[in-house]
Amino acid sequence: MVKAKPAPILDVERLLALVPFISAHQGISIKDLALTFSVTPNQMNADLTTLWMCGLPGYTALELMDLSFDSGYVTIRNAETLQVPRALNFDECIALLFGLDLVKSALSEKSELHPTVDALVKRLAEKSGLTTALRATNPVSAGLRATIESALTSKLDLVIDYHSLYSDEFTQRTITPLEIRLDGGIEYLFAYCHTADAFRVFRLDRVSEATPRQVSESHMKNPTVKSDDPHECEIRITSRLRLMSERFSLENPVLSAPQKMRTYSHQWVVRSIFASAGSCELVSPTPLRAQIALKAQLILDRYMQPEHA
Amino acid sequence: MSRKSERLVNLTIALLATKRYLTKNEIFRSVEGYEGTDDAKERMFERDKDDLRSLGIEIEVGGLDPLFNDEAGYRIKPEDFKLDLGEISGIDIALLSLAAQAWNGEALNEPAHSALVKLQSMGIDSDLDAIPTLAPRMASSHHELTAVLNAIASRTMISFDYLSSDLVKQSRQVCAYAVASRDGHWYLSGLDTAKDALRTFRFDRISEEIHTVGKSGAYEIPTGFDLLSTLDVELNTSVAVVEIRKGRAHALRKLAHKIEDAGEWERIWINYGDATLFVDSILWHLDDAFVVEPQSMRESIVRTLQMLVQTHG
């Protein structure tokens, strides 16, 4: 439903936004301007040349905007008509409203900034014409992400407390963070783990603490990326097809027939079969099937014990 | 850069600076770039008006006086054109900038960035020292987000195909109330017209496109509707008592609202909504989590375990 705007229209939008931006940043370099407006320095030069020809009717030196950019640094005068930035449009309002709700959820409960955020939300909501709250939360703490991002920029190691989902254990590790990546709504931290002496991927929402520290001497003993080979498994889904296809990340899920899937962790497969509560059966490998049956019997026995019955 | 861009900027400046309505002839005479026959200029001006409108710049028509045979005049109202957020402090700018940066690379990244540029064009220094060091991020987004929000703002019904729990496409028609994001998923709530009841949909389960149906202003949105609060209520309708092994089942412990020590174990109280999904999360923890209450849930878990033994043994 979103229509892309044609090039000359986008140019006009950028030209109108440039005037107030330069007015507020007198002396900014063409390079920085190009970066801010996501265009090449050549395009920025063309933009400035066009603006240089614009102004109030009459178009004499008195009416034209007084733009100087020969030195590679830009100043603007005589641009009062366009000096105030344009009103926020609907999309801009909603982007800010969702963002403000995230900021609000990231603030501590006692923060004195809550009324300030609420007042901004109220003003933007009126402008957007939306009467319902735009809400957004993220399981990753915004303070924790700030610590990690700052370690990434200043090239510091981190000591993290990590809860491993598959083994259900808390561990403390020293890592060299490399990159944060978003995949399917989940944020991952790619890092070199000095505790394991290997590259590891951590789910950001499972990191509970992160403390920066100076880079350790034993820096990356095994700098080659060694990925484990995936194991092949076969599963058979008997019900709740949508949930199962989401859980096992299946592209072409089918009901009742056995289908192959790949995994890097047997622990994960066992837990996922249990968490499917009968909607999915493991067909192969056989040793893992036996493990599931044994485990299920063990849990069953406890449920059947008289003191727990 | 085309002559057209230059003309559109000049037209905007002229219509914005004028205190009174400018007639077409005044525009053609004074704004640089209108050339050719009267007919050509006329067509050029009509297209320019449409182009500016597509940028959200509304040209007001007025100056018609029935007593005089006046020509229609045009202007852009500065109060509609210019950013006016009232009193804005450096702290406000810092908070709004943080909000805009949350979209880093996600669907609303472009409008978030253009909003940020506008905020940075106000000539007010961002007071970063007054706010804590935070890096909030949208965990994900969906390309139909703005389409749905436009429909909500104009209260226009929408229709889409939704994947049922058996992965069957079902056609839904919804009076959308609100959109929200939680735990990496986007949700849409509204009145499902066929079921005449409030329903919540996950964006990634909507198959293909979302279409608008009928006219705007077709329904009312309950005042103060808040999707996440509604979800919270749905997720907290019942209480279960669970025994978890010490040092294990951390994900369940995090959800507990009451914890009691029980030797090798801990007894915890957890709120839940959907019993089936709750059983799934209990079973994920294998022999580190046992349901004590409700009894019906214990029975359902026992049946599931018996089935697992039978099918995998």
Average pLDDT over chain A, rounded to whole? 89
Q: Is A46 within 8 Å of B41 (Cβ atoms)?
A: no
Lowest pLDDT segment from A214-218, A279-283, B178-182:
A214-218
Strands B169-182, A135-136: pairing is parallel
- ipTM attached to this prediction: 0.88
Just give the CATH number of B145-224. 2.30.30
Residues of B with Cβ-Cβ distance to A25 under 8 angstroms: 120
* Contact yes or no for B138 and A245 at CB 8 A: no
CATH 3.30.1490 fits B236-312, yes or no: no
Just give the CATH number of B3-81. 1.10.10
Looking at the predicted structure, is the pLDDT value of residue A309 above 60?
Answer: no
B residues 141-180 lying closer than 8 A (beta carbon) to A:
143-144, 146-147, 149-150, 152-153, 163-167, 177-180
Looking at the predicted structure, is the pLDDT value of residue A16 above 70?
Answer: yes
Given this model, what pLDDT does residue B203 score? 92
State the average pLDDT over residues B66-70: 61
State the average pLDDT over residues A225-243: 84
Q: Which residue has the higher pLDDT, B35 or A207?
A: A207
Looking at the predicted structure, is the pLDDT value of residue B195 above 50?
Answer: yes
Q: Is B252 within 8 Å of B241 (Cβ atoms)?
A: no
- pLDDT tens for residues B74-108? 999 999 999 998 899 999 999 999 999 999 878 78
State the average pLDDT over residues B246-253: 92
* Contact yes or no for A94 and B149 at CB 8 A: yes
Q: At B238, list the tokens.
A: 């019942």
B residues 14-73 lying closer than 8 A (beta carbon) to A:
14, 16-17, 30-32, 51-52, 54-57
- Chain center to CA of B39: 44
Q: What share of chain A is helix, strand, coil (3-state, %, to 5)?
A: 40, 25, 35
Strands B157-163, B169-182: pairing is antiparallel
A residues 269-308 lying closer than 8 A (beta carbon) to B:
270-278, 281-282, 289-290, 292-293, 295-300, 302-304, 308
Which of A2, A10, A12 would best serve as a mutation to test chain B binding (most B beta carbons within 10 A)? Answer: A12
Given this model, what pLDDT does residue A65 score? 83
C-alpha–C-alpha distance, residues A18 and B53, integer Å: 19
Lowest pLDDT segment from A213-222, B22-31, B150-159:
A213-222
Given this model, what pLDDT does residue A251 score? 85
* Contact yes or no for A23 and B123 at CB 8 A: yes
State the average pLDDT over residues B40-58: 92
State the average pLDDT over residues B150-168: 93
Looking at the predicted structure, is the pLDDT value of residue B123 above 80?
Answer: yes
C-alpha–C-alpha distance, residues A122 and A127, integer Å: 9
DSSP B37-86: -HHHHHHHHHHHHHHHHHTT-PPEEE---TTTTPPPEEE--HHHHB---S
CA distances, B96 to each of A9, A60, A154, B64, B91 (Å): 27, 39, 25, 42, 9
Given this model, what pLDDT does residue B145 score? 87
* Contact yes or no for B121 and A23 at CB 8 A: yes
Q: Quickly state the pLDDT bin for B143 (edges 50, 70, 90).
A: confident
Cβ neighbours of residue A263 under 8 Å, at least 6 residues apart?
A: A230, A231, A233, A269
Given this model, what pLDDT does residue A2 score? 46
Lowest pLDDT segment from A23-37, A57-71, B134-148:
A57-71
Given this model, what pLDDT does residue A1 score? 42
Given this model, what pLDDT does residue A183 score? 83
Given this model, what pLDDT does residue A218 score? 60
- pLDDT tens for residues B266-300? 999 999 999 999 999 999 999 999 999 999 999 99
- Which residue among A12, A55, A92 sits closest to B8, beta carbon to beta carbon? A12
Looking at the predicted structure, is the pLDDT value of residue B303 above 90?
Answer: yes
* Cα dihedral: A192, A194, A197, A201 (round 10): -40
Looking at the predicted structure, is the pLDDT value of residue B12 above 90?
Answer: yes
State the average pLDDT over residues B231-255: 91
Q: Which residue has the higher pLDDT, A250 or B63?
A: A250
Given this model, what pLDDT does residue B66 score? 59
* Contact yes or no for B99 and A277 at CB 8 A: no
State the average pLDDT over residues A51-74: 83
C-alpha–C-alpha distance, residues A134 and A63, integer Å: 44
Q: Quickly state the pLDDT bin for B32 (edges 50, 70, 90).
A: confident
Q: Is A105 within 8 Å of A171 (Cβ atoms)?
A: no
Q: How many CB contacts within 8 angstroms connect chain A with chain B?
A: 375
Q: Quickly state the pLDDT bin for A290 (edges 50, 70, 90).
A: very high
- pLDDT tens for residues A68-101? 998 999 999 888 889 999 999 999 999 999 999 9
Given this model, what pLDDT does residue A264 score? 83
Per-domain boundaries in chain B: 3-81, 90-130, 145-224, 236-312
- Alpha helices by DSSP H, listed for A85-175, are 90-106, 114-128, 142-153
Q: Quickly state the pLDDT bin for B47 (edges 50, 70, 90).
A: very high
Quick one: DSSP state of residue A267?
H
- pLDDT tens for residues A154-203? 999 999 999 988 888 899 999 999 999 888 788 999 999 998 888 899 99
- Alpha helices by DSSP H, listed for B205-294, are 227-235, 250-255, 275-284
Q: Does B202 touch chain A (CB under 8 A)?
A: no
Angle between helices A90-106 and B145-154 (to 10 degrees): 100
Given this model, what pLDDT does residue B1 score? 54
Q: Quickly state the pLDDT bin for B180 (edges 50, 70, 90).
A: very high
Residues of A with Cβ-Cβ distance to B204 under 8 angstroms: 185
Given this model, what pLDDT does residue B40 score? 92
State the average pLDDT over residues B166-172: 92
C-alpha–C-alpha distance, residues B60 and B105, integer Å: 36
Q: Does B239 touch chain A (CB under 8 A)?
A: no
